[in-house]
Structures are given as structure tokens and as C-alpha cells.
Amino acid sequence: MPPAEPLAPGSLLIAIDWGTSSLRAVAMDAQGTILDRLSSGDGVMAMAGRDYAAVFQTLFGGWLARWPQAVILASGMVGSRQGWREAPYVSCPASFEDLARGIVTVPAGGGRLLGLVPGLVSLGDKAAPDVMRGEEAQVFGAMKLGGRQEGVFVLPGTHSKWVSVSDGRIMRFSSFMTGEVYGLLKQHSILGRLMPQGGDPPFAQPAFEAGCALALDDAGGALLHRLFSVRTQGLFERFTAEELPSYLSGLLIGEEVREAIWLLGERPELPVQLICRADLALPYRLALGQAGLDSGVIEDAAFAGLFEIARRNALLS
């Protein structure tokens, strides 16, 4: 493949968060004011066998005509091997500038280029490299939005990420399969059969806190064992069917917090900065609180991150 053409600076930014299951985008002026928004279900998973340039034209043709001077940046799985084109992982520690140097461009039609922001690889762990793609833009956005260049940033979710930041750089991070394991156990395991079918029942805070306390209290870690207690708590009617999903969630999020603190090697001094939707923030704040950690929440940081990547790298003028 020929080396990609570099992005030219512009006076506006089209920022795209193009993930596995969906795509969200904003158009921003050089001051970061949002001019328009767009979203679509054409995530990378829905793109199998389709032409990225054609889908891009359909979605963004109007914006491209309206803003001929816009720089276009996309973060997320669109830059993976399964996406439009691979933007190879950049190694930690990584700054805004390191990330910008890893941008790979693709022709987006009409002579325009789209810049794919690379993901990050963290080699600090003895076991295996750890990777993220899309979350890096959110962490850089959260640094800007929160005015803090230090500390631990946490992105809860299917594969939660705990990210250590120092002096504005992402130093290292660890992934946790918390959300996916919760979904698997709830939908497909013997534990799920004890729970109400269909949607999630309301959050049961005492059950969540009981699960969480148990996980945090296990200095030696005992997740494979503790999971079985979901069954016995149901069998001995200590929790109702409606409370069991919250108990399971507490066991898993408590375990994530316990593992993460252990892997960090020290307790975070600054409040932990959560980056997530409001509905995930509550259980994580409770679990962090039970572990004696303060926390704050930033709800949506991807576009702020892409804006800062563009601005700090002289792509916006």
C-alpha cells in the first residue's frame, strides 16, 4: 500500500466516533462550537462487504459540500484491521502529538481525505499487550473537559478500560471484560435462569452493594467461586429474582475495581475520572466509593478529544 497522503489543515472539523455498532459525528468550528450532529447505525459490524467510501458519501455528502474547508477525523474501530483501513496501534506512553503522527488517511471522495486516528497499545503488562481503539480520543477529550492531565481515567463498558495519565500522556492501561461477562452470564448461564427474563429489572442498590463488598473484600480474588453465590443467594431466597442482576453486577464491578487497584500497584490519589453514560456512572461510583475512592463523571468526551487532537497538531487554523 502506498504511504498515505497527510491531512491538510482546515478551518472546521468533522469529528466522527465510528465504532463497532454505530457512528456519531459532529461538525465543529475552529472554536469547538458544534454546528451540526449526525448519527447512524452503520457501525463497522454493519459494514461487512460494503464500500466505506460510498457509505461515507451517503452519510456526509451534505456536510462535505457545505464545509469544503473542514478537516475530517474519525476514531474507533473504523481504523482497525476490520475497518476502512488499519491505522496501526501507537505504543504508550502516548501524547496528543504521538497520536496525530499515527493518523492514516483514506480518500473520502471529491479529493477530500479522512484521517483515521490510531488506537493505542500498552506493553506494560507481563501477560500480553493491551489495546484500545476509540477510547484514546475520549481520554484526551476528558483531560481537556476536566482540566486535568494526571490521574486515573476509567471507561466502563463491555470491555472497561483503566487508563493511567501523567503530564497529559496516556502512560498505560488495562482492559476488563466486565460488561461482556455480565451479559453472557445474564443471558446464557444457569445464573440467568434465576433472573427475570426480558429487560433489566430496576437497579437494586443493597444487592449491588452486597455483591460489591464481597468482591472488594476478597484479597485473594475469587470470582469463579463468587459467581456461584448468585445461584445460592437465589436458592436460599436471600435476594429476589429481581435483585439478582444487581447482585451479579456488584460482584463483577467490585471485582473489576479490586483487580484494577491491584494492577495499578497503588491506590489512585486523585479522584478517579469516569467517562461514561450516566446510567453506568451510578454503579461505578458506588463501587469506587466502597473501595474508598472518590470519583467524577464526564459523559461524552470523544468529540472534545478529536477536536484537541486536531487543534494541538495545527490541523485547525
188 binds a second copy (CB under 8 A): yes
Which lies closer to a second copy via its Cβ, residue 85 or residue 312? 85
Judge contact between 77 and 20, C-beta under 8 A. yes
| CA neighbor of 75 nearest in space, from 40, 14, 118, 114 | 118
DSSP 8-state secondary structure symbol assigned to residue 32: -
190 binds a second copy (CB under 8 A): yes
C-alpha 176/C-alpha 166 separation (Å) is 21
Which lies closer to a second copy via its Cβ, residue 39 or residue 187? 187
DSSP H or E stretch at residue 288: helix 278-290
Query: At residue 56, what is the residue type?
Result: F
Q: How far is the CB of 269 from a second copy (least distance, A)?
A: 20
C-alpha 96/C-alpha 316 separation (Å) is 14
82 binds a second copy (CB under 8 A): no
Which lies closer to a second copy via its Cβ, residue 105 or residue 249? 249
Piece of 94-102, 129-137, 194-202, 279-287 that binds a second copy (CB under 8 A): 129-137
131 binds a second copy (CB under 8 A): yes
Interacting residues of 74 by C-beta distance below 8 A, sequence separation 6+: 15, 16, 17, 18, 114, 115, 116, 117
Piece of 42-50, 110-118, 148-156, 186-194 that binds a second copy (CB under 8 A): 186-194
DSSP 8-state secondary structure symbol assigned to residue 246: H
Interacting residues of 264 by C-beta distance below 8 A, sequence separation 6+: 152, 162, 164
φ, ψ dihedrals at 10, nearest 5°: -150, -175
Task: Return the residues of window 193-232 that contact a second copy according to CB under 8 A.
Answer: 214, 218-229, 231-232
Q: How far is the CB of 225 from a second copy (least distance, A)?
A: 5
Judge contact between 27 and 63, C-beta under 8 A. yes
255 binds a second copy (CB under 8 A): yes
Q: How far is the CB of 38 from a second copy (least distance, A)?
A: 27
Q: Which of 142, 170, 181, 248 binds a second copy (CB under 8 A)?
A: 181
Q: How far is the CB of 256 from a second copy (least distance, A)?
A: 5
256 binds a second copy (CB under 8 A): yes
String of contacts with a second copy for each residue 97-126, x by CB under 8 A: ----------------------------xx
The string of DSSP letters for 63-121 reads: HHHH-TTEEEEEESGGGSTTSSS--PPEESSB-HHHHHHT-EEEEEETTEEEEE---EE
314 binds a second copy (CB under 8 A): no
233 binds a second copy (CB under 8 A): yes
48 binds a second copy (CB under 8 A): no
Q: How far is the CB of 196 from a second copy (least distance, A)?
A: 18
175 binds a second copy (CB under 8 A): yes
Judge contact between 250 and 212, C-beta under 8 A. yes
C-alpha 314/C-alpha 91 separation (Å) is 22
Binding site for a second copy (CB under 8 A): 125-131, 159, 174-178, 180-181, 184-185, 187-190, 214, 218-229, 231-233, 235-236, 238, 252, 255-256, 258-260, 262-263
